[in-house]
Structure 1
Amino acid sequence: MEPGRIGLSGYEIQEVLGQGGFATVYRARQLAVGREVALKVDSRVLSTPRDRQRFLREVTAAGQLSGHPHVVPVYDAGVLADDRPYMVLELCPGGSLGERLHRQGAFPPKEARDIGVGLADAVAAAHAAGVLHRDIKPGNVMVNRYGGVALTDFGLAAMPRPGRELSVTREALTPAYAPPEAFHLAEPGPAGDVYSLAATLYALLRGFPPHHPDDGTQLSLAELIVRHTWPYVPLHGMPTALNEVLRHALAPDPAERLSDAGVFRDALAAVDLDTIALGGPGGFGPAPTMTTVPYHRDAPPVRDAIPASTVAPGRPGGGGGTTVATAPGGGEGGGRGGRNTRLIAALAAVVVSVTVSVTVVTHQYFGSDDDGGTSGSAAPSSGATAQDKGTSGFGVPTTTENCPATGVDGVGGRCVASPECWSGIVDISGIITVTRADCAAEHVWETFAIAPLPEDGMTNNARDLIKHPDVKALCSQKVMAATMLPEGRAVAKEWQTDIIPPTASEWDKGLRVFRCVAAARTENGQKTGSQFAVAN
């Protein structure tokens, strides 16, 4: 939409300052008080009560923190005539730290540390108010007209309330700075913000985010997600104490991570950087005055939260439960030699701007008359016995007994002999990341069929695979409904289907199989128990 055609009374729109996946930011003049402001107009329409509630949460979250010196103030908010929400914020003519990182590279250590202390204080204040930011990165740290830094874009903020799960299935994440658990669609929490904050500080000190190669080679998103699980690599030339603070704040496992922003702030402030030769241009002035913000009473004191021992950098080992599928013959996981040794300072800005939409793909609703291209009957084949069970060619025990998947002609479909459950699916251009989950605990997906890859469809790119008619036939609503146990209908009236292609490790082992999975449309997107168990 052109700047002059927004039609917001009391504001004169001047120019577009920036545009992203969810919003456009304009430079505007607030006529009543004669000041320039940033007008953020969301591209999503508030068409449902849930959407309006989410926007009100966002405004309330940002408004509660407007008085903090390191949070960009919110002046006004509302909804345009076309039902798009808007927010009016302080104009920060200095741009973002992401832009400066792109232009100048790494910051002087003391300046970066002082910025980290100020931002940690803002995050501690947010957490004390029950607010999560969920997208902390250099691009969301602005420089105001006085040279101060402030955190903006609480567009992903949510205010947790007892008994209510936070939805993470349709949020945007910035892969280079998102905590590892976010890619598994885990419930967001304060530890995730601390991770993103620490990753931001790491980028300011090094020039690009954690786990990126020293030669500046740009990573595929799938490889970047895997690297988030690798051990912390200390920053060269920095005090041991600073590396220890960052190591604990960047722990891949949130249970082992420093989760209190107030403790992180205090630990950073205590690091002595006077012995480091400071280079580069001048900073943002003296270290900001810190406002004491209450944090969790049971948080360990700094001397206990940040042990004095150091850990030598380790080689990347095998990942935990995360499985990443890469296209056959693709990726950069092979040799590390022969790469260009130039340091690409612009990498940080590229990674900052890349976001992934973490969503589950709905093919059809439960009970649809359209079977999604199903050919043949979905009725279980007769004469199957328990002797059909086996792992040959599938990697897990399978069976044809009481298995509707066998009724789809020419596909070779089977059922898993024991229930298989999964967390949320992350689909980045067809590259899948998914984690096995305990069926007895909350999870999102469950396997209802498994089959060999079609001979003319040997790929583990999900977006290519789902187009194949055999895959559509097996992973259809018809087969899913026929496989579901009676209690499944009690869990949810609507279900959706998706596929999980072979993982990278399965592909390497010669396992060319794909899974059909189903998810219930529940309030929080999760369910417990197995609704697709087959006879053993």
Structure 2
Amino acid sequence: MNIPGYELVETLGTGGFGTVYRARQLSVRREVALKIDSRPLTSERDRRRFMREVTAAGRLSGHPHVVAVYDAGVLADGRPYMVLELCPGGSLNDRLQDRGPFQPAEVRDIGVNIADALAAAHAAGVLHRDVKPANILVDQYGNPGLADFGLASMPTPGMESSATREALTPAYAPPEAFRMDEPGPAGDVYSLAASLFALLSGRPPHFPPDRQLSIAALMAAQQRPVPDLPGVPTALTDVLRRAMAFDRNARIPTAEALRDALAAADLQSQTPLRTVLAPPPELGGHTTEPVSDPAPSGAQARGLSQGLVLGAAALVGAGILGAGALIAFAPDSGSGTGSNPNNPGATGNGTGGGTTPGKGTGSGTGTGTGNANTAAADKKLYGVETVTANCPAALVPGARARCTRTAECWSGGVWVNGWILSMSRVDCKEPHGRQVFAIALMPSDGETGDRDLLGRNPTVRKVCSRNVLLRSFQGRAAKYRSWKWDVAIIPPSQSQFERGDRVYRCVGEVPYNQKLVGGVFRPR
């Protein structure tokens, strides 16, 4: 097969609707995903479907949480193809099958990002209409992105916009879709909420435990209340419940409103899931009764290294499902993506020893006592040069918290069940969205690399607080106080934690449409 300008490298996935290849775009020497549809464009309806997908995805390719479309065309035999951003992290459905349910904080963050992508799509006049975990992919930086606009519509007066039931994914379709009602933004809101519910519980909402589903039974089940989930904060469940209201007039009305509701959800009462439900594969787009959803096969036992090879197979979305864990890079590779966040530039040796309670720096202002009274000793403890002067975090009693001497800026991140797999350190002179405002040693009663558990420790909450963040701006950077800031925690990776690394960072985050340049908490 010859497609001018592209060199096929390997097959990533094959399904009923086509094949996805890893390819090399020769003009710019980058790897891409090349999706070739198995259905030739033999009718006007087929041509409209293809142009609808290309146009819809193309309108939104600039959004950080939409998988970018680089090129499109038609082969000599009539089969269309699209050239997409390569997403080595695979799909969220892959991750769900391989690793089980996600942690609530991770689901909340995914929901905020994808809801923002849907809000941008709706503002551009595009409805996705097939939001589901298989159509949310993870790029090389660990960011989730919405993919597969094959069912997208751009409603305009006189334009056909309703989808047939054969094209739906029943488990995530809104109730009105089965009534063949005119689609609208509220349908995408429902589908995203149903997807987030599935990430939390292991299976779609209203899905019977025996995994046997009929469309009539599903439509009846959609009228029942969405149940609580063990270990999931009620605030998060309540948002999803309102977003999945059977009556779309009672539903959270817009993707923008869903994004804001998720961002505001209080997760402080969060506890780990106590039960793990076997996640089913994606339901296919058909209405045969019953719809059988067999239990997952040996895919759940695949290791992370195998997931790295197979993860990108999900790039085609509906109809072509890949397999692989949500992992793109080794966590201790030294620099760039997968670098050690607690020892930038190192080769994965962690931050050294000496982090057991009683051997760190002193409490109060953190001026240091015992063996940690020199800059070299402090750097050994924290992995970087730290200071206490003009550092609000250092005033938290007993926290052993400090500030980095120079600004630290970060991007991306891949997490599995609260543990970091990779994180990218970026040059603060380049636009970025995350910056460290405090660095500290874990308290003796909160030593864990799970960021969700770590974030519930009272001492850590005092250090990584909005109050400390707002007091940490320096000089002219105080103008950023009025921005909408979120606080996040970067713990060591699992391998670093096992080697004795007990350093965590408090990070200020800004929305994707706002970017920082230069240090705002420390000089750079």
Of the three residues 10, 22, 29, the one matched with 2:24 is 29
Give the conservation status (yes or no) of the 8 Å contact 2:165–2:180: no
CA-to-partner distance for each residue in 1:95-116, whole Å, 9 max, x for gaps?
1110110011111110110011
- Secondary structure class of the residue paired with 2:170: coil
Which residue is equivalent to 1:327? none
Match status 1:218 vs 2:211: yes
Superposed, which structure 2 residues align to 1:350-365 within 5 Å? 350=281, 352=282, 354-357=283-286
Amino acid at match of 2:57: A
Which residue is equivalent to 1:330? none
Match status 1:428 vs 2:308: no
Of the three residues 219, 237, 247, the one matched with 1:243 is 237
Of the three residues 251, 256, 270, the one matched with 2:250 is 256
Point out the more displaced range, 196-205 or 234-243: 234-243
Match status 1:52 vs 2:43: no
Of the three residues 149, 152, 160, the one matched with 2:147 is 152
Which residue is equivalent to 2:202? 207
Structure 1 residue 122, shift from structure 2 partner: 0.3
- Residues 259/219 of structure 1: CA separation in 2 closer, same or farther (3 Å cut): farther
CA-to-partner distance for each residue in 1:64-122, whole Å, 9 max, x for gaps?
10011110000001111111111100111111110110011111110110011000000
CA-to-partner distance for each residue in 1:160-213, whole Å, 9 max, x for gaps?
112323131265211111112212222211111110000011111112111234
Whole-Å separation in 1 of the counterparts to 2:165 and 2:242: 29
Point out the more displaced range, 74-83 or 250-259: 250-259
- Secondary structure class of the residue paired with 2:171: coil
Which residue is equivalent to 1:192? 187
Whole-Å separation in 1 of the counterparts to 2:38 and 2:16: 8
Which residue is equivalent to 1:126? 121
Match status 1:177 vs 2:172: yes
CA-to-partner distance for each residue in 1:213-254, whole Å, 9 max, x for gaps?
4xx421223333432232221223333332221111101122
Which residue is equivalent to 1:448? none
Match status 1:12 vs 2:7: yes
Give the conservation status (yes or no) of the 8 Å contact 2:31–2:86: yes
- Secondary structure class of the residue paired with 1:127: helix
Structure 1 residue 429, shift from structure 2 partner: 4.8
Give the conservation status (yes or no) of the 8 Å contact 1:217–1:344: no
Give the conservation status (yes or no) of the 8 Å contact 1:156–1:171: no
* RMSD, matched Cα: 2.2
Which residue is equivalent to 2:59? 64
- Residues 91/49 of structure 1: CA separation in 2 closer, same or farther (3 Å cut): same
Whole-Å separation in 2 of the counterparts to 1:220 and 1:52: 33
Of the three residues 74, 77, 80, the one matched with 1:82 is 77
Of the three residues 70, 86, 96, the one matched with 1:101 is 96
Superposed, which structure 2 residues align to 1:89-488 within 5 Å? 89-169=84-164, 172-213=167-208, 216-222=209-215, 223-277=217-271, 345-347=278-280, 350=281, 352=282, 354-357=283-286, 427-429=287-289
Structure 1 residue 56, shift from structure 2 partner: 1.8
Whole-Å separation in 2 of the counterparts to 1:17 and 1:225: 35
Among the aligned pairs, what percent are the same residue? 61
Whole-Å separation in 2 of the counterparts to 1:149 and 1:125: 15
Structure 1 residue 343, shift from structure 2 partner: 5.8
- Secondary structure class of the residue paired with 1:25: strand
Structure 1 residue 256, shift from structure 2 partner: 2.0
- Residues 254/85 of structure 1: CA separation in 2 closer, same or farther (3 Å cut): same
Give the conservation status (yes or no) of the 8 Å contact 2:52–2:150: no
Unaligned runs of 5+ in 1: 281-341, 358-426, 432-536
Whole-Å separation in 2 of the counterparts to 1:87 and 1:171: 23
Whole-Å separation in 1 of the counterparts to 2:243 and 2:183: 16
Which residue is equivalent to 1:521? none
Whole-Å separation in 2 of the counterparts to 1:83 and 1:229: 44
Give the conservation status (yes or no) of the 8 Å contact 1:175–1:221: no
- Secondary structure class of the residue paired with 1:356: coil
Whole-Å separation in 1 of the counterparts to 2:290 and 2:272: 45
Whole-Å separation in 2 of the counterparts to 1:151 and 1:45: 25
Whole-Å separation in 1 of the counterparts to 2:204 and 2:165: 24
TM normalised by structure 2 equals 0.53
Amino acid at match of 1:254: R
Whole-Å separation in 1 of the counterparts to 2:250 and 2:159: 25
The structure that has the greater radius of gyration is 1
Whole-Å separation in 2 of the counterparts to 1:110 and 1:124: 21
Which residue is equivalent to 1:490? none
Give the conservation status (yes or no) of the 8 Å contact 1:356–1:428: no
- Residues 221/18 of structure 1: CA separation in 2 closer, same or farther (3 Å cut): farther
Structure 1 residue 279, shift from structure 2 partner: 7.6
Whole-Å separation in 2 of the counterparts to 1:122 and 1:67: 10
- Residues 77/93 of structure 1: CA separation in 2 closer, same or farther (3 Å cut): same
When the two structures are aligned, how many residues end up with a matched partner?
A: 290
Whole-Å separation in 2 of the counterparts to 1:55 and 1:220: 31
Amino acid at match of 1:224: L
Whole-Å separation in 2 of the counterparts to 1:22 and 1:189: 26
Whole-Å separation in 2 of the counterparts to 1:279 and 1:228: 24
Whole-Å separation in 1 of the counterparts to 2:58 and 2:189: 21
- Secondary structure class of the residue paired with 2:156: coil
CA-to-partner distance for each residue in 1:298-330, whole Å, 9 max, x for gaps?
xxxxxxxxxxxxxxxxxxxxxxxxxxxxxxxxx
TM normalised by structure 1 equals 0.51
Amino acid at match of 2:210: T
